[in-house]
Structure 1
Amino acid sequence: MITLKENLTKLGYNGLLVSLPLTFKRIEYCTSLFEERVEEIIPTLDKNEKISLVGHSTGGLIIRHFLSKTKHTAKIDRSVLIATPNQGSQLATIAAKLSTTFTKVFKTLDSLHPNNIKKLNLKDISTVEVGAIAGNKSNLLLGKLLAEENDGRVQISSVNYYGLKDFIILPYGHKEIHHQFRTAELVDSFLRIGQFKR
C-alpha cells in the first residue's frame, strides 16, 4: 500500500497507512484494530472534514466490516475497495477442503471463506458511497485453480456486489493492481466525484 499512498500523495491526498496482522488473525480482530486507529484520527479533523477509506484485498473487507458496525459514518466520505473478495475467496474454500490445519493457522484465510464472509453481516451504509476496482490479469499460479475470470487470487464476480456505487475492471493482477498509477487515478476520481472516470 506504500506505492498507492505515494501515488495518491502526488494527486493531492494526505494518506495514512494502517498496518494490520493480515495473516494469522481473523477479520473481526483486524477490524477492531482498524477502528481504534480511526477513532484516534477523528478528533484531529476539522469540523466539516471527512475521511476517505481505500483498501486492497482483505483490507477492503475490513473497511466494509468497519462501516457495518461503526458509529462514525458521518465522518466517512467515500470508500474504494481494490481486488477485495467481497463474496469470499474460492481459494479459501479450496484451502479448507485440503487441510483444516492450514486454515486454523492462517486465520485470515479462514475468514475469507464465503460462509465466514456471510457471518460478518456486512451492511451497506447509505451515507457512504463505495466503489470497487477488480483486476482480470490472472498472472499467478493460484489463479489457475479458479474457474471464473480472476486477477490470480480473486474472482471478478467476488469483487462486485449489489450496493456498489460504481465498479470497474482493470487489466492487472492481484499483486500489482494497487501499485499502478492508473489505479490511483481511478481512486482519486471516485473519491472526488463518486464514480470512476473512464
Structure 2
Amino acid sequence: MKHKNILIHGYNKTSSDMKVLKDNLEKLGHGCIILDLPLTYHKLEHGTMLLEEMLSDLIKDLKEGEKLNLVGHSTGGLVIRHLLSFTSHRKYIDKCILVATPNRGSDFANLVGRIFRIAFKKYKTLKSIQSCELKRLGLGDECNDIDIAAIAGNNNNLFFGNLLREENDGRVTVKSVKIEGLKDFILLPYGHKDIHYQPVTAELIDSFLRTGKFKVD
C-alpha cells in the first residue's frame, strides 16, 4: 500500500512552492497533500504545533495499514524534525525526506543575527532557524525509529552562497544538510530555490519511499 505524502514548504513560502514537486510525485503514482504553514512571522514551534494538529485530522482518514510520509524543503524539513521530537503520532509516520534543509542551522539566519538582529522582531521564523536556536530545541534523536533521508544541492547560484566558504546551494551548506542518523543522503547539482522543482528530485524521493534508498537509474 502506498502511503499519503505530506509536502511542507520552506521559510517565507506557501504551499504553491511545493506544487511542482507534488505534480512530479503524482506522475510517479504517489498521492500528495501540500500544506500551508506560517513560516515567516512566527516561531518555528508555532508552525510545528499547527502541523501536529493537521496530522491529527489527516490520521482520522487513514485506511487500515496506511501511514504518512513527510517531505520538507528547507525550513519545512526543520519543522518535520521538530515534530518528530515530541509528536504523539510517530506510529503513523513511515518515512521522512529533508530537501536542502539547514539541519545544523541556517548560515543566512546566523548572519542576520550578527548584523541585522532587529529583523528578528518581525521575521521570527528566521530567528528560530539560527544554529543556537536549533540547539535549544534539542533535536537529534528523530532517526531512532523512523527512516529519514536528506537531499542536498551544491549549485551556488545565489549571492549569499558566495559568502559561504563551504560547498553550498546558494543558501545552505552541504555540511548543514548532512547529519548523523540519516538512512541515506545524496547530493544534486541544483540550487536552493529550484532543487525541489527537478524531476530527478521527485524520482529520488519515489525511490526512497519505495525501497528505503536513493537509487538512480
TM normalised by structure 1 equals 0.98
**Displacement after TM superposition at 1:104 (Å):** 2.0
Distance 1:74 1:127 in 2: 9
Residue number in structure 1 paired with 2:4: none
Of 43, 58, 62, 1:45 maps to 62
Distance 2:40 2:174 in 1: 22
> For residues 134-153 of structure 1, what are the structure 2 equivalents within 5 Å?
134-153=152-171
**Displacement after TM superposition at 1:114 (Å):** 0.3
Residue number in structure 2 paired with 1:190: 208
Is the contact between residue 31 and residue 66 of structure 1 (CA under 8 Å) also seen in structure 2? yes
**Displacement after TM superposition at 1:127 (Å):** 2.1
Gapped regions of structure 1 (runs ≥ 5): none
Deviations 1:91-118 (A, max 9, x none): 1111111121112211111111101011
Distance 1:143 1:22 in 2: 22
Is the contact between residue 136 and residue 170 of structure 1 (CA under 8 Å) also seen in structure 2? yes
AA aligned opposite 2:195: I
Residue number in structure 2 paired with 1:178: 196
AA aligned opposite 1:30: G
Residue number in structure 2 paired with 1:35: 52
Is the contact between residue 74 and residue 127 of structure 1 (CA under 8 Å) also seen in structure 2? no
Distance 1:33 1:71 in 2: 14
Structure with greater proportional helix content: 1
> For residues 89-108 of structure 1, what are the structure 2 equivalents within 5 Å?
89-108=106-125
AA aligned opposite 2:56: E
Secondary structure of the equivalent of 1:144?
Answer: helix
Identical pairs, percent: 51
Aligned length: 198
Deviations 1:103-150 (A, max 9, x none): 221111111110101111122242210000000000001111111110
Of 167, 184, 187, 2:185 maps to 167
Pairwise CA RMSD? 0.8
Secondary structure of the equivalent of 2:33?
Answer: coil
Distance 1:21 1:72 in 2: 21
Secondary structure of the equivalent of 1:44?
Answer: coil
